[in-house]
């Protein structure tokens, strides 16, 4: 080593594609790469709830990550054929189960639970030889848009540590944006990969529903949940998506399709003739001036590069938010019934009186769930109850069908649809905590894709006048995920050329922390 290009700082700032190239060429070892990231985590992450640091991680798996890095280095030294990403580390959202590593989904009710198996996508990371750095912070059970509903304390936005990194996957997005991990896994039920990507200046993709196995995700709303990649570049997201995706017989909703040639699509960098549909209902009113200006400037770049920019209308998107906030709590209220104080994690016995199963369940759930989770269980249970089912859940399912029809019609006029990802840039910590409806309203642009099962990407279009990143959303028809990468890769290249470098090059220095030992599990 010793070469300037392999300093720890250069290693954490390198893209996954760059690291893969340097590892393959023998210029650097996976152990060095992992160590550089663990040092970066120690320097900037702090511990959740201590009020210092980003708190992107709930659990850092330093020893395991180093052991798997050394194993990959040994296999490489022995001349074994390796996956292109072998040795490149990755962080995993804490809603994904990891054998032998605590998994809490950001909840007290799962504190101390160590899963006996790996999610399919985690098996695939291991099969590719990717060391897992740890588990990232999130809103409890992925319910939220700010990561403030984590039972362990909020994640901070690396662009401005008084602001949220979005949610629910704020930990994965912040880890990637702050150079703590080159890649991370997220999940997106209503925007939890794309919205955090938008407000942290990173790239996030929700694949087509069924494109990445849900086996081993702690289920929130099963008909909407989808895991996907978080990265700093469109190509890196494609590379991770290719590792995670593809058919899995253990997920009944898994598509039979092989994962597409996503990295090739990201490298195409040609949008000539591509029909780009601007969704009228997801622009203008409700979107801040800074967000709208950045979005329009990106559209101009695409048009100059030969894309055909058209306007499309999806009138029922106006009701998508309402439908989502009935369907999602309904499914979640059922999925969360399994947390009963008997099978996983926390068990609380009633303070007095008889210890019956029902009373243990009530005491455990009362103590173990936070207020947002309780709110949604109550909402969902109400929406599904006899006498209200048709009016609430039934109507929401009808809206869901109409949203799908709007997409089908729009995709006759355009190859991809675009909008800003979120109505505003990152908002201050605490600013929406007392107003759940204001928090929900921020999901307006991301939710339609989940209701229809279509894939979506957020990539940064630049900084707004407040100096904070803006996300540009691309949506494609189901099973056409490669179109996201084709448009996203091209737009990213145009923007990088215009500004003379990657957006995250402008990330402000983060304050170094006094205490930095994160080798212990904080949620174990």
User: Among 30, 189, 202, 294, which residue sits at the site for ligand GLN (rule: CB under 6 A)?
Assistant: 189
Site string for ligand GLN, 13-32 (x = CB under 6 A): --------------------
Q: What are the residues facing 463 on neighbouring strands?
A: 469
Site string for ligand GLN, 317-346 (x = CB under 6 A): -----------x------------------
Hey, what long-range contacts does 513-516 have (CB within 8 A, 24 or more apart)?
Answer: 513/42, 513/43, 513/44, 513/45, 513/46, 513/52, 513/53, 514/52, 515/46, 515/52, 516/42, 516/43, 516/46
Extended beta strands in 96-246, E state: 132-136, 183-187, 203-206, 227-231
The CA distances from residue 343 to 119, 120, 337, 340, 349, in Å, are: 18, 22, 11, 7, 14
Comparison of 16 and 399: residue with beta carbon closer to ligand GLN: 399
User: And the tokens for 193?
Assistant: 């990969």
The distance of closest approach from Cβ of residue 192 to ligand GLN in the complex, given in angstroms and rounded to an integer, is 3
Contact segment (CB under 6 A) with ligand GLN among 142-150, 363-371, 418-426, 427-435 equals 142-150
Q: In the window 33-62, what residues touch ligand GLN (CB under 6 A)?
A: none
How many angstroms separate the CA atoms of 131 and 128, rounded?
9
- Which residue carries 């210890």 as its tokens? 355
Site string for ligand GLN, 82-111 (x = CB under 6 A): ------------------------------
How many angstroms separate the CA atoms of 145 and 142, rounded?
9
421 binds ligand GLN (CB under 6 A): no
423 binds ligand GLN (CB under 6 A): no
Which residue out of 61, 107, 145, 168 is catalytically annotated?
A: 168
Distance of CA 179 to the CA centre of its chain: 16
170 binds ligand GLN (CB under 6 A): no
Comparison of 183 and 328: residue with beta carbon closer to ligand GLN: 328
How many angstroms separate the CA atoms of 220 and 51, rounded?
28
DSSP letters along 411-462, please? HHH-SEEEEESSSSSPPBTTSSTT-HHHHHHTTTTTHHHHHHT--EEEEEEE
168 binds ligand GLN (CB under 6 A): yes
DSSP letters along 296-318, please? HHHHHHHHHTT-EEEEE--GGGG
Q: In the window 209-228, what residues touch ligand GLN (CB under 6 A)?
A: 220
Contact segment (CB under 6 A) with ligand GLN among 37-45, 190-198, 255-263, 343-351 equals 190-198
User: Among 129, 144, 170, 456, which residue sits at the site for ligand GLN (rule: CB under 6 A)?
Assistant: 144
135 in catalytic set: no
185 binds ligand GLN (CB under 6 A): no
Q: Is the peptide bond before 168 cis (omega within 30 degrees of 0)?
A: yes
How many angstroms separate the CA atoms of 261 and 189, rounded?
24
User: Among 129, 190, 420, 456, which residue sits at the site for ligand GLN (rule: CB under 6 A)?
Assistant: 190
The distance of closest approach from Cβ of residue 447 to ligand GLN in the complex, given in angstroms and rounded to an integer, is 8
**How is the beta sheet containing 416-420 ordered, strand by strand?**
57-60, 132-136, 90-93, 183-187, 227-231, 203-206, 456-463, 469-475, 416-420, 275-279, 308-312
Q: Residue 187 — φ and ψ, nearest 5°?
A: -135, 150
User: Among 73, 94, 148, 188, which residue sits at the site for ligand GLN (rule: CB under 6 A)?
Assistant: 188
Alpha-carbon dihedral of residues 94, 96, 99, 101, nearest 10 degrees? 0
140 binds ligand GLN (CB under 6 A): no
The distance of closest approach from Cβ of residue 446 to ligand GLN in the complex, given in angstroms and rounded to an integer, is 7
User: Among 11, 142, 199, 417, which residue sits at the site for ligand GLN (rule: CB under 6 A)?
Assistant: 142
* 274 contacts: CB under 8 Å, gap ≥ 6: 306, 307, 308, 415, 416, 483, 486, 487
Comparison of 148 and 481: residue with beta carbon closer to ligand GLN: 148
The distance of closest approach from Cβ of residue 212 to ligand GLN in the complex, given in angstroms and rounded to an integer, is 14
333 in catalytic set: no
- Which residue carries 């980003």 as its tokens? 54
Comparison of 14 and 138: residue with beta carbon closer to ligand GLN: 138
User: Among 118, 251, 443, 481, which residue sits at the site for ligand GLN (rule: CB under 6 A)?
Assistant: 443
Comparison of 19 and 143: residue with beta carbon closer to ligand GLN: 143
How many angstroms separate the CA atoms of 101 and 112, rounded?
10
In three-state secondary structure terms, 207 is coil
User: And the tokens for 121?
Assistant: 């996508």
* 158 contacts: CB under 8 Å, gap ≥ 6: 44, 54, 165, 174, 177, 178, 200, 507, 508, 510
Contact segment (CB under 6 A) with ligand GLN among 182-190, 350-358, 483-491, 506-514 equals 182-190
Comparison of 130 and 142: residue with beta carbon closer to ligand GLN: 142
145 binds ligand GLN (CB under 6 A): yes
192 binds ligand GLN (CB under 6 A): yes
Comparison of 351 and 437: residue with beta carbon closer to ligand GLN: 437
143 binds ligand GLN (CB under 6 A): yes
Which residue out of 172, 192, 330, 333 is catalytically annotated?
A: 192
How many angstroms separate the CA atoms of 316 and 236, rounded?
34
User: Among 191, 204, 246, 477, which residue sits at the site for ligand GLN (rule: CB under 6 A)?
Assistant: 191
Contact segment (CB under 6 A) with ligand GLN among 185-193, 285-293, 380-388, 495-503 equals 185-193
Which residue out of 93, 135, 206, 432 is catalytically annotated?
A: 93
The distance of closest approach from Cβ of residue 220 to ligand GLN in the complex, given in angstroms and rounded to an integer, is 6
Provide Rg for the chain, Cα atoms.
Answer: 22
Please say whether the beta carbons of 17 and 240 come within 8 A: no
206 in catalytic set: no
Residues that bind ligand GLN (CB under 6 A): 142-145, 168, 188-192, 220, 328, 443
Query: Which amino acids are annotated catalytic?
Result: 93, 168, 192
């Amino acid at each position: 080593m010793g070469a300037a290009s392999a300093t720890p700082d250069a290693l954490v700032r390198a893209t996954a594609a760059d690291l893969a190239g340097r590892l393959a060429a023998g210029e650097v070892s996976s152990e060095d790469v992992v160590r550089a990231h663990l040092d970066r985590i120690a320097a900037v992450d702090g511990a959740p709830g201590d009020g210092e640091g980003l708190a992107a991680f709930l659990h850092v798996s330093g020893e395991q990550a180093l052991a798997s890095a050394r194993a990959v280095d040994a296999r490489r030294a022995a001349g074994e054929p390796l996956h292109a990403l072998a040795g490149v580390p990755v962080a995993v959202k804490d809603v994904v189960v990891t054998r032998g590593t605590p998994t809490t989904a950001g909840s007290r009710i799962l504190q101390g639970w160590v899963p006996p198996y790996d999610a399919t996508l985690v098996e695939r990371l291991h099969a590719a030889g990717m060391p897992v750095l740890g588990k990232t912070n999130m809103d409890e059970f992925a319910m939220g848009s700010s990561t403030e509903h984590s039972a362990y304390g909020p994640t901070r936005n690396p662009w401005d540590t008084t602001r949220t990194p979005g949610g629910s996957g704020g930990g994965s997005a912040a880890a990637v944006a702050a150079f703590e991990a080159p890649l991370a896994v997220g999940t997106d039920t209503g925007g939890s990969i794309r919205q955090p990507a938008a407000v942290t200046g990173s790239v996030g993709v929700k694949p087509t529903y069924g494109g990445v196995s849900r086996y081993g995700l702690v289920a929130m709303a099963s008909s909407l949940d989808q895991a996907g990649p978080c990265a700093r570049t469109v190509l890196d997201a494609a590379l991770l998506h290719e590792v995670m995706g593809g058919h899995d017989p253990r997920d009944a909703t898994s598509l039979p399709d092989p994962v597409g040639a996503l990295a090739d699509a990201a490298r195409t960098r040609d949008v000539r003739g591509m029909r780009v549909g601007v969704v009228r209902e997801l622009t203008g009113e409700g979107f801040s001036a800074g967000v709208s200006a950045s979005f329009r400037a990106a559209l101009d770049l695409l048009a100059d590069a030969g894309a055909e920019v058209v306007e499309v209308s999806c009138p029922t998107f106006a009701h998508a938010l309402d439908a989502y906030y009935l369907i999602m709590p309904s499914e979640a209220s059922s999925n969360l019934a399994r947390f009963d104080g008997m099978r996983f994690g926390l068990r609380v016995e009633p303070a007095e009186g008889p210890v019956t199963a029902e009373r243990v369940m009530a005491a455990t759930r009362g103590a173990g769930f936070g207020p947002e989770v309780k709110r949604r269980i109550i909402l969902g249970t109400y929406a599904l109850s006899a006498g209200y089912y048709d009016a609430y859940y039934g109507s929401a399912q009808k809206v869901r069908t109409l949203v799908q029809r709007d997409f089908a019609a729009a995709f006759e006029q355009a190859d991809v649809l675009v909008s800003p990802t979120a109505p505003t840039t990152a908002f201050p910590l605490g600013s929406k905590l007392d107003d759940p409806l204001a928090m929900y309203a921020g999901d307006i642009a991301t939710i339609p894709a989940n209701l229809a099962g279509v894939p979506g990407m957020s990539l940064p279009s630049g900084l707004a006048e407040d100096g904070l990143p803006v996300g540009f959303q691309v949506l494609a028809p189901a099973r056409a995920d490669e179109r996201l990468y084709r448009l996203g890769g091209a737009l990213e290249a145009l923007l990088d050329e215009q500004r003379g470098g990657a957006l995250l090059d402008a990330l402000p220095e983060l304050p170094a922390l006094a205490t930095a030992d994160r080798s212990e599990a904080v949620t174990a």
